Amino acid sequence: MEKNISKNGFIDVLVGLQWGDEGKGKNIDELLSGGVYSGVARFQGGANAGHTLKFGELEFIGHIVPSGCLREGVELYVGNGVVVDIVSLVKEIEELKNLGFDILPRLYISNRAKLVSYLHPYLDQAEEFSRSKDGKKIGTTSRGIGPTYSDSRARRGLLMGDIMFPDFDKKLEDLCQMHLNLLKMYQKEYGFEVPLEKINEAKKKWQEALEKVKKLQICDLSHLVQKRLREGKNILAEGAQGVMLDIDHGDYPNVTSSNTLPANVCLGLGAPHPAIRNVYGVIKAYTTKVGGGDFPARIKDETVEKMFQERGHEFGATTGRPRMCGWLDLFALKYAIGLSGANKIFINKADICPTDKIKVVTGYIEKGKVLEDFPLRLSQVTDVVTEEISGWGEANFGISDREKISPALSSYLDYVKNKLKDFEIEIVSVGTGPDRTHSFPWDK
Ligand code: GDP
Ligand code: IMO
Ligand code: MG
């Protein structure tokens, strides 16, 4: 007999469908307004993420803390798939406290989450330094993401729950000794140097954070998640980065070190597969990318790119780096929808359209041939196929009523929907500004 799971809760997933920074934080917060979800869970990535939440005067950028933090009563889960930067975590908890949100009673961290050590960020920088010698920098966020996942896969990393065990100090010391040896190698081979005072300072800050972290609710999160589902409660899984940065399906090696796809939710939380219901995908009306690697949809006219960058405030929420700007890339988007199974999408930044005419990328070309499949390397792409359509200016800022948007924006949304007609996709809402209230529903 088929198991009746209807009384159980479900997990909806929200992921970025581009190269990150699509506005995922805002949409998580928006989805929570309906009261459908009792918790929000991060399942991958770490403090490389920067998710902006804005509500009136209040602004918060979450790196580790899930984007349900400004919604009282919503539980916040940090899953086993996450690499936890404890200094960032403690700082975020304190920042939230100053904003009037004491999240401690509703924050749960998996004892199997991966612990970022005080040397992982330096190893990240050392690896980047060595790559820069051949101009092959990935442009990481320097948050130690790659080295922490590497240690995890090599089975020598530290888990959050380890901090409660008597052998923790020894484990930490052994790992750090290995990292120091590696750093010495980077110094000898590449001339990458970290002053000892800097390391000592980082260690001190990290140890202070560790004492605070010991008081947090570190638990068997998969048990808690399963319990909540059995209680009929629903959970929203919050993706970090974007599908195009997925370690297996992105433009390797210009990717992050985790699987950003919804397929990773069950693994990164310890949740049962049948619990997954909707996949929400988030895009911007154009595209941005930070870091190294090719970006076929990049706007070729520097002045126009700068207009998008400035009007769209396209500067990283984690690193402050300027983001490269490109046209909406429908070829990459179809690839991302196929991989993620997104059945509902959010389109953000519809208020940013500084030009009369805009382009949309509909195909990739390699040496004169239009590609059918997504290429292994984006460097293979020598040109792109584009379509030009009317822009809509910036008169749509802050609009929350569908009837009030400009006709050109309305036809752009119809155009995008039509281009995606092979996928059964619903455009849930369209963002017209950074605030919680700046959006209007589309398909319904
Ligand atoms: P995330 O990493 O996907 O959560 O996105 P980020 O927070 O890194 O970057 C998105 C930026 O765009 C933030 O500064 C948001 O406040 C802002 N934002 C989100 N939606 C909109 C929108 O519809 N219009 C405008 N103008 N800004 C938006
Ligand atoms: P959110 O969650 C945009 C990019 C970095 C670099 C590559 C690898 O805010 O959308 P890493 O530090 O992960 O080893 O860097 O991935 N990157 C992001 N780009 N948004 C992010 O997160 C990103 N997290 C990582 O710029 O190119
Ligand atoms: Mg971001």
Is the distance from CB of 63 to CB of 92 less than 8 angstroms?
A: yes
Ligand nearest to the CA of 24: 1
Domains of the chain: 11-114+222-280 (3.40.440.10), 115-213 (1.10.300.10), 284-441 (3.90.170.10)
| Atom 15 of ligand 2, residue of closest alpha carbon | 140
Pick from 17, 26, 315 the residue to mutate for probing ligand 1's pocket: most ligand atoms within 8 Å of its CB: 26
Give yes or no for residue 3 having a pLDDT over 60: no
Give yes or no for residue 5 having a pLDDT over 60: no
The residues, any chain, with a CB within 8 Å of residue 5's CB and separated by 6 or more, are 274, 275
Q: Is 294 buried (19+), middle (13-18) or exposed (0-12) by CB count in 10 A?
A: middle
Per-residue tokens: 428: 């849930």
Å from CA of 111 to ligand 2 middle: 24
Å from CA of 25 to ligand 3 middle: 8
pLDDT in tens, 330-343: 999 999 999 999 99
pLDDT in tens, 62-90: 999 999 999 999 999 999 999 999 999 99
Give yes or no for residue 299 having a pLDDT over 90: yes
pLDDT in tens, 108-132: 999 999 999 999 999 999 999 999 9
Give yes or no for residue 6 having a pLDDT over 70: no
Active site residue 51: yes
pLDDT, residue 4, reads: 45
Q: Judge if the beta carbon of residue 24 lies within 6 A of ligand 1.
A: yes
Å from CA of 318 to ligand 3 middle: 7
What is the C-alpha separation between 155 and 237, in angstroms, rounded?
Answer: 26
> Taking each helix axis from N to C terminus, what angle separates 168-190 and 120-132, rounded to the nearest 10 degrees?
20
| CA of 124, closest atom in ligand 2 | 14
Is the distance from CB of 270 to CB of 232 less than 8 angstroms?
A: no
User: Where does 248-356 show beta strands of DSSP type E?
Assistant: 276-284, 287-289, 324-326, 328-329, 344-348
Beta bridge partners of 194: none
Pick from 141, 142, 238, 349 the residue to mutate for probing ligand 2's pocket: most ligand atoms within 8 Å of its CB: 141
| CA of 24, closest atom in ligand 2 | 10
| CA of 318, closest atom in ligand 2 | 9
Å from CA of 33 to ligand 1 middle: 18
Segment 44-58 mean pLDDT: 96
Q: Judge if the beta carbon of residue 52 lies within 6 A of ligand 1.
A: yes
DSSP string, 99-133: TT---GGGEEEETTSEEPPSSHHHHHHHHHHHHHT
pLDDT, residue 341, reads: 97
Ligand nearest to the CA of 431: 1
Segment 395-418 mean pLDDT: 95
Beta bridge partners of 45: none
Site residues for ligand 2, CB cut-off 6 Å: 16, 19-21, 48-51, 138-141, 143, 145-146, 240-242, 245, 256-257, 290-291, 317
pLDDT, residue 7, reads: 86
Q: How confident is the model at residue 316 (pLDDT cuts 50, 70, 90)?
A: confident
Å from CA of 306 to ligand 2 middle: 21
Q: Judge if the beta carbon of residue 352 lies within 6 A of ligand 1.
A: yes
Q: How confident is the model at residue 393 (pLDDT cuts 50, 70, 90)?
A: confident
Å from CA of 256 to ligand 2 middle: 6
Q: What is the Cα Rg of the chain in Å?
A: 22
Give yes or no for residue 444 having a pLDDT over 80: no
| CA of 22, closest atom in ligand 1 | 3
Q: Judge if the beta carbon of residue 314 lies within 6 A of ligand 1.
A: no
What is the C-alpha separation between 308 and 303, in angstroms, rounded?
Answer: 9
Q: Judge if the beta carbon of residue 433 lies within 6 A of ligand 1.
A: yes
Q: Which of the residues 12, 29, 51, 124 is marked catalytic?
A: 51
pLDDT, residue 150, reads: 98
pLDDT, residue 319, reads: 80
pLDDT in tens, 133-164: 888 899 999 999 999 999 999 999 999 999 99
The secondary structure of residue 48, as a DSSP letter, is T
pLDDT, residue 1, reads: 43
- The total of other beta-carbon atoms located within 10 Å of residue 164's CB is 10
| CA of 245, closest atom in ligand 2 | 16
Q: Which of the residues 21, 124, 251, 351 is marked catalytic?
A: 21
Give yes or no for residue 37 having a pLDDT over 70: yes
What is the C-alpha separation between 13 and 342, in angstroms, rounded?
Answer: 9
pLDDT in tens, 203-216: 999 999 999 999 99
